[in-house]
Amino acid sequence: MKLDVYERLMAAQINRRNMLKGAASAGAIAAGASTGLGGLMGSAFAQSSLRAEMLNIPGVGVGSPTDSDWQKVGALTLEATKKNVAEGEFADVELTFLGLNNQNLHNFLFRGFLKPWEAYTGAKINWIDLAQADYNARLQQSIATSTVDFDIIEMGAPFEGDVLGKGLASEMPEWVREQIDMDDYVDYLKAPVGTWGGKTYRVSIDGDCHNFNYRTDYFADADLAAAWAAEGNEGPWEVPNTWQKVQAVTKFLKGKKIGRFDTNGYLDPLKGWGGFGFYFLGSRATAYAKHPDDADWLFDAETMKPRVNNPAWVRAIQDVLDVLDAQPADQLNADPGTTGFQQFLAGTGSMLSWWGDIGSNAKTSDSSVVGDDVAFSILPGSDDVYNAKTGQWDTLASGPNYAPNMAYIGWGIYVMARVDSDAKKQKAAWSAAAHVGGKDISLWTAAYPSGFQPYRTSHFNIPEWVGSGYDEGFISNYLASQLDSYNHPNAAIEPRIPGIFQYYSVAEDELAKIYAARSDAQEGADRIAAAWDKITDQIGRESQIELYKASLGN
Amino acid sequence: MAGPGQSEGDQLHTVVSDYMSPRRILAGRALLWFAAAVLFVTAVIQALYTWDRIAFGFENWRPVLYAFIFWGTALCVAQVLVRGEQGKRVLFVLPAVLFVVSMVVFPILFGLYISFTDWNLASPTGPKFNGLDNFRQMSGDPFYWNALKNMVYYVLAVSVEYAIAFGLALLLNAQVRARKFFRVAFLLPLMLSPVAVSWMVGKSMLEVRFGPLANLARFLGWENPSFFSSPEIARLSIMVMDAWTFIPFMMVMILAGLQALPKEVLEAAKIDGAKPWQGFWQVTFPLMLPVSITAIVIRIIFKLKLADIIINVTSGGPGGATDSVTSFIFREYRDRSNVGYGTLLAMIYLVLIIIFVTSLLKVASRWTRQFNQEGAG
């Protein structure tokens, strides 16, 4: 769980009565389990004493965990390591671990988790801490200059093309797969994610997706409902479940009031964010561009021809342009951080795509004025979806096309190939990675501040959360929006090819120009496609095609 | 006392005998050649190993660096052994020359080489020489030309900053109450990091909904204040923030110049009946020209490096309206790992800066001379 989410949750910790109410409503939630969560509830009684004991370190509501707590968790979950490693087996082994040192916990946490592991195995770990902003450049430089000076790395899946594609990582041994119980991963984190050429390289420690956050008070407001009907809009006043409806609602809300406040509809971040801003256009586009019969949606895997200028993406860009006037003032200077934390949380706007943590912050943040008026779902769908193979827009018999955007695919732990020449060091490195990404320890990282979201099926066992003190209704809704995205059969998973953030970054520059000048969406998209082609040619088209196919598991 | 081998011209400066035996000279030359051989062999082995021509080599280039340091030290020692007193004199400069060569000249040459390569860090093939392709790409890159155009606006803004700085310096040079307090207070913005200014002013005080400056703008009748949404206003906002940080720098330089002015000249002008404006325009301003030009040139050099505020506040937006060349190169380099092209852009920018600043200094010096001659006439 992200640190800020945890702190907000703790700040708004439920009282005993609410907890009892929450427990009483467990049956109702299980009955309405369209999310698949209900089926997991029975397993609450099988919760191991170890997991229960671990979840009480330090205990929900007694403040943020400290290094001693992380060490306790590390020690408590060491049993899995002991099955594969003898005491003192890595006595003379030194490993270097490169990870993040930003406002979340990442490396700080790993240090605590691995201290008991070091004491038991005798290995010593040296740490390289990087701010997130420096991470990409440091990694790229290490790769390009053949100066990989670390044995273990915390890395996001989008960089797998850069690292796995160049043979820089060590293949996961079979005993690690068993130790960490990889079958427990949510569907989308299973192969091909974390694999390359049929081989597995990644210990997942996080899951990522964009979900849809909306204000319930807007859609329960009688005045807005009356105005919606009076203006002759189609259908009832309700939470939009397609982008077509999101557009209609956003245009409708311009100039309206809720109470004494001005209303705004969907919030688009219009300023770049080091490449990460492109994910937000992606969240608008996936329902149009990701056809259930086609794994590709950003490039053609056969040719690396960009799809970013096909009718689906152009429609998404045009959608943004169409509601520019309905956005808050200064929106051109709003990056995703602004839309999430300074606008949505602070009461501006009624709909937002973001990673899973924003919605839960909105419920409990001290600076939030939206209070309890927030709920979550998977990203909206579309009445029709573009079929890149036929060049036609298809209307699916099953209804709207949904395609949750698995933006960034989450963090993982990877072992570098440079340890492979030393069997002892290799085993030590993989043992450390397996310890940090173990099944039990991961429940703790999901529940406590860590920088990581839930990513295993076992993380969605609501009673375990409730048992550690969380509000049941809230945590169910929070987790459901993520689980439904993770396990969606038409989830849009970005290509894990080298330089993927270069594509995103250059697209951000062009999109900023389109939005600022309100220029033609098709022409702008064509410029993005041309720039993407240039990057592909620069990196090497043939190798990119090969690596793209490899990333798709072909 | 002059040594037997000493030339006459050096007699006055020589305090010790400086006879050098042939063995000593031989030892010096041998040391130098040995060190050079070590450096050469180490570098060749490592180069061949890096290019996969031989199977053995070092793990990295660090041993070559050590060999270079050894060679540099040997070179210095050899100067003394071979050239005696003359060699000792060379030692005052030689280490600095070696340091500059290794830390400035070599990187510039390496940078020049990189700027003529196609090198994307994500590419599996590494740098590839591509001739003038990067230059051609630059010629047709609308983002780069847009950034250069913005730099013209940013540099022009220095003239306004100069006027304000001069005015403030005149005020602080006058006999005003709490002069010392104001001198420190006016300097405070200069003490702030531009990154802090970006967040404090750009992202907090100018924040549209709750920022105090936005509220003030609303109070003054601007219904929907927005400081970064339209290209012109966004550029102006960046200029104002940058000016706020650096006007004190110009002000303090001009103030120092004002305080160093000979009071007799000003008093003589007053006695001759010069009015305050005439005194300023005919006496103070011309006398201050050398200081002013120095302040302006240094400020322009600072301005040409403008990036931090832009990166933090607007990321170059909206639509490139606030982009500076440095902030664009930053994106090209860091976000896109486009090392070859980014380096070429930086090199071209360096050349442009050198040409611009040299011309500026030349024009300024001619103008100063002309102004002074007219004044004298």
> Is residue B256 domain-resident?
yes
Regarding whether B311 and B244 lie in a shared domain, the answer is yes
Q: Out of B108, B135, B162, pick the residue that ends a domain.
A: B135
Cβ distance of B124 and A498 shorter than 8 Å: yes
Classify residue B1: in a domain, yes or no: no
Residue A257 three-state SS: strand
The stretch B65-75 carries a mean pLDDT of: 95
Q: Which residue has the tokens 């600095």?
A: B96
Query: pLDDT digits over B45-54, tens only?
Result: 999 998 888 9
- Looking at the predicted structure, is the pLDDT value of residue A63 above 50? yes
In a domain, B8, yes or no: no
**What CATH fold (topology level) applies to the domain A3-205+410-474?**
D-Maltodextrin-Binding Protein; domain 2 (3.40.190)
Look-up of token digits 């920088």: A451
Question: Which CATH number is B168's domain given?
Answer: 1.10.3720.10
Q: Do residue B261 and residue B363 come from a single domain?
A: yes
Q: Which residues neighbour B194 within 8 Å (Cβ) at sequence distance 6 or greater?
A: B242, B245, B308, B309
Question: Do residues B214 and B295 share a domain?
Answer: yes
Q: Please state the rounded mean pLDDT for residues B302-316.
A: 93
d(CA B241, CA B253): 20
Query: Given an 8 Å threshold on Cβ–Cβ distance, is A330 in contact with B228?
Result: yes
Distance from CA of B325 to the nearest CA of A (A): 14
According to the model, what pLDDT value does residue A22 have? 37
Task: Give A210's contacts (C-beta < 8 A, 6+ positions apart).
Answer: A279, A280, A282, A283, A353, A354, A355, A379, A404, A405, A407, A485
Q: Which residues of B touch A346 (CB under 8 A)?
A: 209-210
- Note whether A538 contacts B338, CB cutoff 8 Å: yes
Cα distance between residue B377 and residue B373, in whole Å:
6
Q: Residue B241 has which token pair?
A: 């923030």
pLDDT number for residue A21: 35
With an 8 Å Cβ cutoff, are A330 and B334 in contact?
no
Is the ipTM value over 0.90, yes or no?
no
Is the pLDDT at A471 greater than 80, yes or no? no
β-strand pairing of A385-387 with A392-394: antiparallel
Is residue B334's pLDDT more than 90? Answer: no
Q: Give the closest residue to A284 by CA, choosing from A377, A187, A403.
A: A403
Nearest CA-CA distance, residue A91 and chain B, Å: 25
pLDDT recorded at residue A371: 58
Cross-strand bridge partners of residue A128: A98
Domain that holds residue B234: 140-376
Q: What angle do CA A61, A64, A66 make, to 5 degrees?
A: 135
Residue with token string 């919030």: A267
List, for residues A117-130, the tens digit of each pLDDT value: 999 999 999 999 98
Locate B184 and state its tokens.
């420190």
Do B321 and A147 count as a contact with CB atoms less than 8 A apart?
no
Quote the pTM value.
Answer: 0.83
Contact A509 B320 (CB under 8 A): yes
Written out in words, the top-level CATH class of the domain with range A210-406+493-551 is: alpha beta
Contact A512/B317, CB-based, under 8 Å? yes
C-alpha dist (Å) from residue A347 to A217, B107, B336? 11, 52, 35
Do A3-205+410-474 and A210-406+493-551 agree at the fold level? yes
Mean pLDDT of chain B: 89
CA-CA distance, B280 to B282, in Å (whole number)?
6
Residues B92-116: tens digit of each pLDDT: 999 999 999 999 998 999 999 999 9
B100 and B226 part of one domain = no
pLDDT > 90? residue B118: yes
Provide the 3-class DSSP secondary structure of residue A387: strand
Nearest to B198 by CA among B322, B296, B319, B304: B322
| Same domain as B237, residue B365 | yes
What pLDDT is stored for residue B63 in this prediction?
94
Domain count, chain B: 2
Residue B7 predicted with pLDDT over 80:
no
Structure token digits, residue A440: 């039990």
State the average pLDDT over residues A291-320. 96
B113 belongs to a structural domain: yes
* Cα distance between residue B3 and residue B11, in whole Å: 9
Considering B111, B135, B159, which residue would you say is the last residue of a domain? B135
Is residue B247 included in any domain, yes or no? Answer: yes
Is residue A186 pLDDT above 60, yes or no? yes
In chain A, residues with a C-beta closer than 8 Å to the C-beta of B335 are 136, 274-275, 501-502, 505
Question: What is the band of A2 on the pLDDT scale with cuts at 50, 70, 90?
Answer: low
CA-to-CA distance for A184 and A442, rounded, in angstroms? 11
User: What CA–CA distances, in Å, run from B290 to A92, A497, B286, B360, B365?
Assistant: 67, 57, 8, 13, 8
- The reply to whether B193 and B46 lie within a common domain is no
Asked whether residue B199 falls in the same domain as residue B112, the answer is no
Over residues A70-85, mean pLDDT: 95
Determine the pLDDT at residue B35: 97
| Residue of A470, A538, A474, A429 lying closest to A85 (CA atoms) | A429
Q: Which among B207, B316, B335 has the least Cβ separation from residue A501? A: B335
DSSP A477-541: HHHHHHHHHHT-TT-B-----TTHHHHHHHHHHHHHHHHHHT--HHHHHHHHHHHHHHHHHHH-H
For the CA atoms of A434, A436, A440, A444, what is the dihedral angle to 10 degrees? -170
The angle, 0 to 180 degrees and rounded to 10, between the axes of the packed helices A500-517 and A311-322 is 40
Cβ-based burial of A329 (10 A; exposed 0-12, middle 13-18, buried ≥19): middle
Within this chain, do residues B161 and B38 fall inside the same structural domain, yes or no? Answer: no
Q: Return the percentage of chain A with pLDDT > 90, whole number.
A: 59
DSSP string, A80-135: HHHHHS-TTTTTT-EEEEEEE-SSS-HHHHHHHHHHHHHHHH--EEEEEEE-HHHH
Give me the residue from A137, A273, A332 closest to B334, CB to CB.
A137
Give the sign of the dihedral formed by CA B308, CA B313, CA B316, CA B321: negative
Contacts of A173 (CB under 8 A, 6+ apart): A426, A427, A430
Q: Final residue of a domain: which of B74, B105, B135?
A: B135
Residue B129: partners with Cβ closer than 8 Å, 6 or more residues away: B116, B117, B118
Q: Where are the domains of chain A?
A: 3-205+410-474, 210-406+493-551
User: Do B290 and B225 sit in the same domain of this protein?
Assistant: yes
Residues B103 and B197 in one domain: no
pLDDT at A37: 39
By DSSP bridging, strand A385-387 and strand A261-262 are unpaired
Hey, is A347 helix, strand or coil? coil
In a domain, B149, yes or no: yes
